[in-house]
Structure 1
Amino acid sequence: MTAQDQLDSINIPGTSVILRPSCSTYNPCGRNGYCRDNLNDEWTCQCKFWWNGTLCNHMSNSGWQVISLSILLFLLILVFYGLIIFRAINQKCKQQKNASDQHRQTTVTIKRKFSPIPRAVKDTSRRILSWIIAIATLLLAVSTLIVKWTIIKPIHEDIVDKFKKNEPVFFKQHYFCRIMELRTEFNIVTFPLACFIILIFTIITRRVSTHGIKYSRGFIGIPIPLDFFAHVKRTLVAVIFAIFADELLGIANDVLNANNPSTSKGVIMIYLLQLLKVFVIGFRCYPTLAAVYIDNWFSLLCATLYIWLDFSITIFNNGLCKHDYYQSEIDFNKSGANSTIKYLTYYGAGSKLLLIQLLTDIPRYLCLAYISVKLPALLFKRIRHRHTNDRTLTREQRTLLYSSLLHSVEAQYVKRLLGMNNTNVPTSRFSQIIRFIYEWRDDFRFSSRVVCVYTAAFLLIFFLTTQLCVRLTPTINQVQEICQRLVDFMSAVTSASDDDLKNNENQPSDFPLPNFVRPFLVAFITAACIIIIQLLVMLAGIRRNLLQAYRGDDSEIPRRVSSANVNYVTGTFHFAEEWRTQLSELRNNIDSAISCNLIKDKRSPIYIIKIEADNAVNQILKKQLSYKVDDRFCLIRGPVQLDCNAMRSIYVGDDDGYGRIRGQQKYSQSRSMLRFKIEKTRSPQALFFGITTSNANLDQRLWSDPATIGWCGDNSIWVHGYHDNIKSQSVDDRFQFGDILQLTLNCDRNQIELYNERTDKTHIQCVDLKETPFPWHFLVGLFSNGDCVTIV
């Protein structure tokens, strides 16, 4: 071989030397490199950033990564500004629609008859169906584990036989594995079938968005909306997300272990390929969610056949193609190392490693078995009730109607609140500790989003714990052996010179180290338990916050006590009786309210007093009283206390703070009037009466909140974050102790009015719906300690 051939056979990136004429007469590098002469009248090509090769005619890994990153950045910028433009157009269309439909009100009448359910009869069909699904799921999962045992048993015996004969330990994949997986990113069987089913669902689906705008007209539409959490069975979606967690863990293991043929392409290409795998997982699980959302016999039949095929291929793939602890021939040739020998050395050549493999697969096959059983059950139910025409109702309407049944969560909540459902308090200490961490409640139901996230988190913790414990335990044992040898060597060096003791390897160690494996497993399992307990505490916190939002105040929700619930309900009934009495008095006042004019005739020897009724004034009074609504204080911010009826608010903090109290009712139409009485105040100029929107942040100060508009006691008005003084600066016009103020919310004219009965003056302010959209709430602000305002 000549020197020229030797140089051509060596591929050194960046710089190459070739025996050819100098750069002054010949430039072979082109525009991708720089030609350089050396002392031997030879030239070399110094390649630019992302080029490589002898003549700089091959793109390097850095070049591919830069190009990929540029394309990805361009797509992200395009999506970002596209979403901004779409949001702006959507808000503009929504504002125009709200302006045109402001005076329009539609009422939807639901005509649906439900069969009467006796109080003592329970819904046994649902319980029987749940038991049938649970038993069928367990039987199918056990059958799947038995089938996998029979598949991997010969592989395990072959690997053990090679291990005993000191041969390369790996198993040969089935010939169908190479046909089924052309690439590691997707399966050639299930992925095209999933895309085909999605295409069918897209063709047969005709969907109208929730905003009333048709994205597609005719018979082509998106199979399911983005908010499918609110329309699909919670348990089914949670199980599907658990499968997501399992497959995402496999992708993470591939990234960490560098078992990827695209490792030489750079980090960016690796992560883009992993992102492509995530999208493929979504495409594989999307037909199931779309079928359950569409909820007809054809979609459920397609999803049932698809999930059965996917389940069968998963069993075949995990049994003959991939294993967690047994290396295949392809993996052995790629990595050059053999991790199976490490596992067999530590766990032995028996069936222990095989049992570990089956035990780690139990959650995976339970989830797949549940989906494989649940979809045929839904299909059978749909075929059985195919003549029932309930398509006129939306899912929200059906949920609201079925909440009246005895087995619903809402009915259980009412029973528990009224003390009709007795709860058994556990006596054992262990049960009390469990209830202290998390208490199961059948009268509360989490949303599908919370259930999906926490199910995926729990399954991910399980998979991580089992995988790391099984994989790291042999490594910890090897570390212990190395440390023991190091300690023995140091002990032999520092001890007395005894040749027999030093050369005897079978002599027990003078300083035996403790077992590293047991503390490692205990620490790892303890950390996993602490994480699970923390997640449960966070879950209980989410439930407590939701209950607080439902109740409408910031106080801590106490634990369920039957006596306290009875007292609360009794007080509610007492308030209802008082409210009924006040309504009766108001009706009598409206019927008997007469404006009288006193006329004296002084020309007569005996003065004649004539009383005439002013019907016009009487009609105005009736009209004003008819506008009055029954509202109360609800949401508070700051040191404010409410009475038991939520009709009186008292500021109990320092003068440096500010208390804000929002009303309970929402106002979006017609005209409504509320009456407030200033019972006590030390700084009437700081009192505030006005409105805010339902989505306003009460933590923000009144004078800087653009959604707040109203009047202060010093003849000033705050309009959407700006201050403006009223022209009248008379001292008598300011708020005083004992004043009764009438706050009128005129939603039809988009304005609010404040009338002071003492001064007989009315202030009117227009409301900008862009800053304070419907629905409205009244808002009261207190400043000084002891300030008290009452709704009268």
Structure 2
Amino acid sequence: MASSNPQKVLCVTCNKVTGLFTCRGCQQNFCTSHVAEHRQELGKQMDEITVEHDRFRQILIEQNTDLRMHPLLIEITEWEQQSIEKIRQLAHDARQQLEELIIASRKILSENLTKIGNELNKAREEDNYFETDFVEWIAKIDRLKKEANELPNVRLPCFDNNILPVISNVRENTSLKEIFQQSTGEAAIEDNGEVAVKNTRVSHAAVRGRGEFNSGQHRFRFRIERYFKSGWLQIGIVSKTIPLQANSYQTPSLYGWGASNQVYLDGRNHQGYNGYITDIQTNDEIELAVDCDTRTIILTNERTHSTYRLAVDLQRCPFPWQLSIGLYYSLDRIRILHT
């Protein structure tokens, strides 16, 4: 008869077979000595759970006493403080930029007002003035009054979508609305400085803008309102230090583009430079981008999408820069666009 050897059950702690007890919780076996130790360990865990329970209850009591202690409310408070600081910094930067712009614009206004005053004094001393002079002086003063209350290149901060942006375009345009201000060689300036037009005689004439540019990026748009077919027109920049002259394309320090694929670098013609092909027609809208920081200018014809870039040698064309327009054929017109 075969003998039976039932499988021995051992204590999980000491591997002995004497006095075994089975824990219904963990389903492990313990001898007489270690079953008490196991119960002590269970008691220790019970104490820890009780402490955790009491600690959590105390947290709930505190949060019910002061709802601001709730984690989500604490997170909202932190977000609020960070947002306030960001808004305060943005407002500070916008305010500082706007103050700088106002100071710069008032300086230009003061200079222009001084010029008008000098004209008045000279006319009075020489007793040389007529009704047409009065109309011109009043128009100039009215324009300065309007500009004194406006900053055409600035949009004030708005609060759309809970965002406070910095003043728009402050670095891009640090002067008043650009207009034509100087002319020579039988070119006229009309429409409060927005239009330059050549008279009826065919000859070279030049017009310069009012702005003076030393830093930042500036964009100017023009409409060619009248352009003689296969005519001549020059668009670019020139150093203010160089006197205005009718044959602007020969002006030392002039950089820009002309007719018949002409490209001017320091007043010298480089035919077809960088692949330039003249494609200007009547009613074309042209953009001139002036980047003082990288010392480059870019010409774009919005109709043909042609774009050309020139690097400006600061040694040959020192700051400040001014817009320079050259005209030749009778009644050709170019207008500065303001958007």
Deviations 1:127-181 (CA, angstroms, capped at 9, x unpaired): xxxxxxxxxxxxxxxxxxxxxxxxxxxxxxxxxxxxxxxxxxxxxxxxxxxxxxx
Give the Å deviation of 1:706.
2.3
Structure ranking higher in strand proportion: 2
CA RMSD, 1 decimal: 4.5
In the TM superposition, residue 784 of structure 1 has moved relative to its aligned partner by 0.3
Retained in 1: the 8 A contact 2:185–2:246? no
Aligned residues: 218
Question: Which position in structure 2 is the counterpart of 1:789?
Answer: 334
Q: Could you say if the C-alpha distance between residues 582 and 772 of structure 1 is closer, same or farther in structure 2, counting changes exceeding 3 Å?
A: closer
From the superposition, tell whether residues 682 and 571 of structure 1 become closer, same or farther in structure 2 (CA, over 3 Å).
Answer: same
1:438-496 CA-to-partner distances (Å, cap 9, x unmatched) read: xxxxx76xxxxxxxxxxxxxxxxxxxxxxxxxxxxxxxxxxxxxxxxxxxxxxxxxxxx
Displacement, 1:746? 0.9
Per-residue deviation, 1:736: 0.8
Report SS of the residue matched to 2:316. Answer: coil
Letter in 1 for 2:244: L
- SS of 1:672's equivalent in the other structure is strand
Give the CA deviation at 1:580: 7.0
Could you say what secondary structure the match of 1:755 adopts?
Answer: strand
Q: For residues 604-640 of structure 1, what are the alpha-carbon distances to aligned partners after superposition, in whole Å with 9 as ceiling and x for unaligned?
A: xxxxxxxxxxxxxxx9xx8799659611111111111
Q: 2:212, 2:320 within 8 Å by CA — same for their partners in 1? A: yes
Residue 650 of structure 1, aligned match among 192, 197, 204 = 197
Q: Hey, what does 1:508 align to over in structure 2? A: none
Letter in 2 for 1:791: I
User: Secondary structure at the residue paired with 1:743?
Assistant: strand
- Relative contact order, higher structure (CA 8 A, sep 6+): 2
How do residues 636-785 of structure 1 correspond to structure 2 at under 5 angstroms? 636-655=183-202, 657-683=203-229, 685-699=231-245, 701-726=247-272, 728=275, 734-785=279-330
AA aligned to 1:639 is E
Confirm whether residue 559 of structure 1 aligns to residue 129 of structure 2: yes
Match for 2:295: what amino acid? N
Larger radius of gyration: 2
Shift of residue 708, structure 1, vs aligned partner: 0.9
* TM-score (structure 1 length as normaliser): 0.24
Q: In the TM superposition, what is the alpha-carbon distance from 1:760 to its structure 2 partner?
A: 1.6
Q: Which amino acid aligns with 1:632?
A: I
Corresponding letter in the other structure for 1:742: E
Give the superposition deviation at 1:681.
Answer: 1.2
Contiguous gaps of at least 5 residues in structure 2: 1-106
CA distance in 1 between partners of 2:323 and 2:213 (Å) = 9
2:228 counterpart SS class? coil
Q: What is the SS of the residue equivalent to 2:142? A: helix
Percent identity over paired residues? 22
Mapped to 1, the partners of 2:169 and 2:262 lie a distance apart of 29
The separation in 2 between residues aligned to 1:557 and 1:775, in whole angstroms, is: 36
Compared CA separation, residues 558 and 664, structure 1 to 2 (3 A): farther
Q: Which amino acid aligns with 1:635?
A: Q
Residues 1:573 and 2:148 are matched in the alignment: no
Residue of structure 2 equivalent to 1:276: none
Shift in Å at residue 745 of structure 1?
A: 1.5
Alignment-mate amino acid for residue 647 of structure 1: E
Structure 2: distance between partners of 1:665 and 1:626: 13
In structure 2, distance between residues paired with 1:591 and 1:675: 29
Task: Note the 1:91-170 alignment, pairs <5 A.
Answer: none
Unaligned 5+ residue runs, structure 1?
A: 1-399, 405-409, 418-442, 445-539, 548-555, 593-618
> Where is the helix percentage greater, Structure 1 or Structure 2?
1
Is contact 2:295-2:311 (8 Å) kept? yes
Note if contact 1:714-1:734 (Cα within 8 Å) is conserved in structure 2: no
Quote the residue 1:181 is aligned against: none
Which amino acid in the other structure matches residue 680 of structure 1? R
> What is the deviation of 1:699?
2.8
Shift of 1:709: 1.1
Query: Does the CA contact (< 8 Å) of 1:627 and 1:672 recur in 2?
Result: yes
Deviation at 1:771, TM superposition (A): 1.3
Q: Distance in 2 between matches of 1:644 and 1:729?
A: 32
1:774 deviates by: 0.7
* CA deviation profile, 1:643-676 (whole Å, cap 9, x unmatched): 1501111100422x10100111111111111111
Aligned residue number for residue 91 of structure 2:
none
Q: Confirm or deny that 1:632 pairs with 2:179.
A: yes
Give runs of aligned pairs for residues 171-570 of structure 1, distance below 5 A. Answer: 544=122, 558-559=128-129, 565=134, 568-569=137-138
1:212-235 C-alpha deviation (Å, 9 max, x unpaired): xxxxxxxxxxxxxxxxxxxxxxxx
Q: Tell me the SS of whatever aligns to 2:270.
A: strand
- Quote the offset at 1:696 in angstroms: 1.1
Contact kept? 1:683, 1:784, Cα under 8 Å: no
Q: 1:684–1:737: 8 Å Cα contact kept in structure 2?
A: no
Q: Is 2:222–2:336's contact at 8 Å kept on the other side of the alignment?
A: yes
1:544–1:709: structure 2 CA closer, same or farther, 3 Å change rule?
farther
In structure 2, the CA distance between the partners of 1:569 and 1:707, relative to structure 1 (3 Å rule), is: same
